[in-house]
Amino acid sequence: MDKTFITDLLNSLKFEAIRFRVLYVLLFIAVSFAFLVVGYFWPNTYRTEALLQADESNIIEPLLKGRASVTDVDRSAQARENLYTRRVMEKAAEEARLVGTDASEEAVSNAVRKIRSGLNVTTEGKSHFRVSYGSTDPDESFSILNAVVNVFIQDTAR
- Which segment of 66-70, 110-114, 132-136 scores lowest on mean pLDDT? 66-70
- Cα–Cα dist 63/44, whole Å: 54
- pLDDT computed for residue 66 by the predictor: 61
Q: Which residues of 5-17 are buried (b: 16+ CB within 10 A; e: fewer)?
A: eeeeeeeeeeeee
Where is pLDDT greater, at 34 or 104?
A: 34
pLDDT at 61 over 80: no
Closest by Cα among 83, 84, 14 to 52: 83
- pLDDT computed for residue 128 by the predictor: 83
In terms of phi and psi (left: phi > 0; alpha: psi -120 to 50; beta: otherwise), the region of 20 is: alpha
- Which segment of 22-26, 27-31, 42-46, 68-72 scores lowest on mean pLDDT? 68-72
Contact criterion met (CB below 8 Å) for 133 and 45: no
- What does the mean pLDDT of the chain come to? 85
User: How sure is the predictor about 62, in pLDDT bands with cuts at 50, 70 and 90?
Assistant: low
- pLDDT computed for residue 141 by the predictor: 92
- pLDDT computed for residue 44 by the predictor: 87
Q: What is the 3-state secondary structure (H, E, C) of 59-71?
A: CCHHHHCCCCCCC
- pLDDT computed for residue 35 by the predictor: 95
Q: Indicate if the alpha-carbon torsion angle 130, 131, 135, 140 is positive or negative.
A: negative
- pLDDT computed for residue 53 by the predictor: 83
Beta bridge partners of 93: none
pLDDT digits (tens, 9 = 90+) for 90-127: 999 999 888 887 888 899 899 999 999 989 888 887 77
Q: What is the largest CA-CA distance in the chain?
A: 86
- pLDDT computed for residue 65 by the predictor: 64
